[in-house]
A and B are shown apart, each in its own frame.
Chain A
């Protein structure tokens, strides 16, 4: 399960919308071993493509060093698909080189709805995981009843069926 703050998700979606129709990409860093992503780092897509993304190698070195200096690790690596679903492509799977990261995909194919999904990709094997979006700004006492699997301050996105 990936648990992540609503404000970070909003920033990632805004980045993906801004770069649409090109793919957008970036990282969310968090303290080593915490599994808590806290620092959103939008990255340049050096490929500037609608169907491919690649971190700029020098920007990546700078950002990775910075994480090292702050005792952080890349907990989430995200990119957008701009015409297809938020599921890892063959290319994504073949090139996934950070087995400890949550690979998040955002689809911007629909202008009005957000599609966010998260995966582990290890040795070419893709495993989807639920995403829990935490919203600390919501007053937990403001809502009197809520759906199963949700609370006033969190929304759980289950894995999509059929995969």
Chain B
């Protein structure tokens, strides 16, 4: 069972520069674990230590944001396309919680 996954530039260090990789799994969580077995560290950039999806990463199954499909429990089928995009966000000040939510300091 193959699912094509599109990888954004910032995460291609984990895929040897590849723009797309293939993986398998019947849920998003299973797919990310499968990918991490070949691309170690990738999963840690997408999932927080608490086990949820990072607030500032967007993952789509076909044309839908996985947040509307049950997040990590989103069901996957053979032939699905998964796209990962870094959220584009920021702002003048105040949103210190954003950085904390991201957990970038520990992920890097």
* Residues of B in contact, count (CB < 8 Å): 28
B53-72 interface code vs A (CB 8 A; 1 in, 0 out):
00011101001010100000
Binds B, one of A8-16, A84-92, A110-118: A84-92
A47-B91, A51-B93, A52-B94 known; A61 vs B60 contact (CB < 8 Å): yes
Q: Does A97 contact B (CB under 8 A)?
A: yes
* Chain A residues closer than 8 Å to B65, beta-carbon distance: 57-58, 61
Chain B interface SS verdict (over half): mixed
Which residues between 73 and 95 of chain B lie within 8 Å of chain A, taking CB atoms?
Answer: 83, 85-95
A90-B99, A91-B98, A97-B56 known; A84 vs B93 contact (CB < 8 Å): yes
A51-B93, A84-B93 known; A99 vs B85 contact (CB < 8 Å): no
Inter-subunit contact A91/B96 (CB<8 Å): yes
Interface residues of B (CB under 8 A from A): 8-10, 56-58, 60, 63, 65, 67, 83, 85-96, 98-99, 102, 104, 108
- 8 of the cross-chain contacts (CB-CB < 8 Å) are A47-B89, A47-B91, A51-B95, A84-B93, A96-B90, A98-B86, A99-B10, A124-B108
